[in-house]
Amino acid sequence: MSKRLFNASRVVSAAPEEIFALLADPARHVEIDGSGTLQKLIAGQGAMKLGSKFRIGMKAYGFPYRVTNKVVEYEENRLIAWSHLVENRWRFELEPVEGGTRVTESADYRSLRFPRLTMWLIKEELVEDSIATTLDNLVKRFSS
């Protein structure tokens, strides 16, 4: 895999505060997960802040596992990002626009702890599809 930063955006018909409330609550991540890997929150329920940790049960390639994430970027109602052991980041940026909020999701693999192993496991098209599906799920979640 040669690409190390993936991102996409969608306009969601909701205020940044509404979207951020969902993103800042790890128990609700399963509601919008486009990867199909998130199973359930194990620890860390409630609104996250900078430095908060949460543990989530996951399943990929048929194997269940658990990941502890830490919030590494945080600006209330504007930006939230978390990272785990291999130090990739999942980031959501919110920008008010006409008709709602532009949500940009990023998967950032530029600062990996184990780059060769991690990049060997990650497939570009799966990351891109996951981001697109997560954003589409956000659009659907807030359309009424």
Whole-model pTM: value is 0.84
CB neighbour class for 66 (10 Å; exposed up to 12, middle 13-18, buried from 19): exposed
Alpha carbon distance 114, 100 (integer Å):
38
Q: What are the tens digits of pLDDT across the range 44-63?
A: 767 889 999 887 777 777 78
What percentage of the chain has pLDDT greater than the value 90?
40
Domains of the chain: 5-142 (3.30.530.20)
Pick from 85, 84, 86, 82: nearest CA to 71:
82
pLDDT at 100: 96
Q: Which residue has the higher pLDDT, 78 or 83?
A: 78
Alpha-carbon distances of 10 from 7, 17, 56, 124, 135, rounded to whole Å = 11, 16, 26, 20, 6
Q: What are the tens digits of pLDDT across the range 83-126?
A: 886 667 889 999 999 999 999 999 887 776 655 545 445 666 67
Which residues of the chain form beta strands (DSSP E)?
Answer: 5-12, 38-43, 53-60, 63-75, 79-83, 89-97, 100-108
- Cβ neighbours for 117, distance < 8 A, ≥ 6 positions apart: none
Place of tokens 């040669």: 2
Element at 126 (helix H, strand E): helix 124-142
